[in-house]
Amino acid sequence: MDNSWYIELDSLKLLVDPWLEGAEIDYFSWFNKQWHRTPPLKYDEIPTYDIVLITQKYPDHFHRKTLKKLKPQKVMGPESIRRKVKRILPKAEFISFNKKKKQQSVDGVTFHFLPTKRWMDPIYDAFLIDDGNESICLATHGFDIDYTYIKEMGEFSPVTLLMTPFNFYQLPAFLGGTVSPGLEGVRQLAEEFNPTCVVPTHDEDKHARGIVSKFAKIIKSMSKEDLRKIPWLEETYQPLNHYHLTKIS
């Protein structure tokens, strides 16, 4: 379901970037409008969760209509969405991240915010979620992490799961440039974090309209069979192209 995930750790149940209905519109529908080609889960099919993590400020991650329906009690995400979250969810607790506040803990799970070097359009921000036994690296637009912050993090639990896009997605420089670096970005993240399992995210073949879709250059990654032949990926690649809970570790 594009970049919407349900993650269950030993002490915390996490809902990531829920987008369960309608379209996502960047600014104006004539500029960029996208909607699911694969029907998402219904609201009553979502398992119980403790907190919602919003990874980016953009509407395909921060989908207000969905959040209004879900009414989560706790939301965490970038400081840039604080006011908008409080506007639609005035009773929700909001836990924020920025370049000065890069670590938060909830119910024994530590969330490390890994900011990108890009200051104007920080689409490569990532998260490392550590429950003390294992970690999950969630890089929803791929690779461009500032290693200064990785060094500042110090030691963290072994990375069981890396979630990042496999498709290459590029726009002209005036629209933001490379949105997802594709397999090269996956390789660099895999080398950095040495994950047990690598799962594609944010690669849904969505319906699209508007100026952005006309300029977009999208190169889809290889077939599942060919991906499993890549030496650095063959033992870790695991496609989750279904809505069933899957045990990773």
Question: How much of the chain exceeds pLDDT 90, in percent?
Answer: 55
Residue 248 in any domain: the answer is no
Q: Taking all residues of the chain, what is their mean pLDDT, rounded to a whole number?
A: 89
> Is residue 158 predicted with pLDDT exceeding 70?
yes
Task: Give residue 94's identity as a one-letter amino acid code.
Answer: F
Residue 188 in any domain: the answer is yes
Tell me the average pLDDT across 142-170.
Answer: 86
Residue 32's φ and ψ, nearest 5 degrees, are -160, 120
Question: How much of the chain exceeds pLDDT 70, in percent?
Answer: 97
Q: What is the pLDDT of residue 147?
A: 74
Q: Which of 10-14, 84-88, 117-121, 200-204 has the lowest mean pLDDT?
A: 117-121
Residue 125 in any domain: the answer is yes
Distance separating alpha carbons of residues 97 and 15, to the nearest angstrom: 17
Residue 233 in any domain: the answer is no
Q: What is the pLDDT of residue 120?
A: 59
* Range among 31-45, 78-92, 112-126, 147-161 with highest mean pLDDT value: 78-92
pTM: 0.91
Task: Give residue 68's identity as a one-letter amino acid code.
Answer: K
Q: Report residue 249's pLDDT band, with 50, 70 and 90 as the boundaries.
A: low
Assign residue 204 the CATH number of its domain: 3.60.15.10
102 versus 242: the higher-pLDDT residue is 102
C-alpha closest to that of 239 among 165, 130, 188: 165
Residue 240 in any domain: the answer is no
Tell me the average pLDDT across 141-169.
Answer: 86
CB 48 within 8 A of CB 8: no
Q: What is the pLDDT of residue 200?
A: 94
CB 182 within 8 A of CB 223: no
Tell me the average pLDDT across 82-102.
Answer: 94
Distance separating alpha carbons of residues 61 and 19, to the nearest angstrom: 7
Residue 186 in any domain: the answer is yes
Distance separating alpha carbons of residues 6 and 48, to the nearest angstrom: 9
User: Number of folded domains in the chain?
Assistant: 1
Task: Give residue 110's identity as a one-letter amino acid code.
Answer: T
Residue 236 in any domain: the answer is no
Range of the domain at 120: 5-227
C-alpha closest to that of 161 among 187, 185, 129, 113: 129
- Per-residue pLDDT of 39-83, as tens digits, reads 889 999 999 999 999 999 988 999 999 999 999 999 999 999 999
CB 60 within 8 A of CB 25: no
Q: Who contacts 173 (Cβ-Cβ below 8 Å, separation ≥6)? A: none
> Is residue 17 predicted with pLDDT exceeding 80?
yes
- Per-residue pLDDT of 98-130, as tens digits, reads 888 889 999 999 999 988 776 656 577 899 999
Task: Give residue 204's identity as a one-letter amino acid code.
Answer: E
Q: Report residue 136's pLDDT band, with 50, 70 and 90 as the boundaries.
A: very high
Distance separating alpha carbons of residues 126 and 143, to the nearest angstrom: 8
Is the Cα torsion angle 241, 67, 7, 167 positive or negative in sign? positive
* Number of separate helices (H) and strands (E) present in the chain: 6, 17
206 versus 45: the higher-pLDDT residue is 45
Residue 95 in any domain: the answer is yes
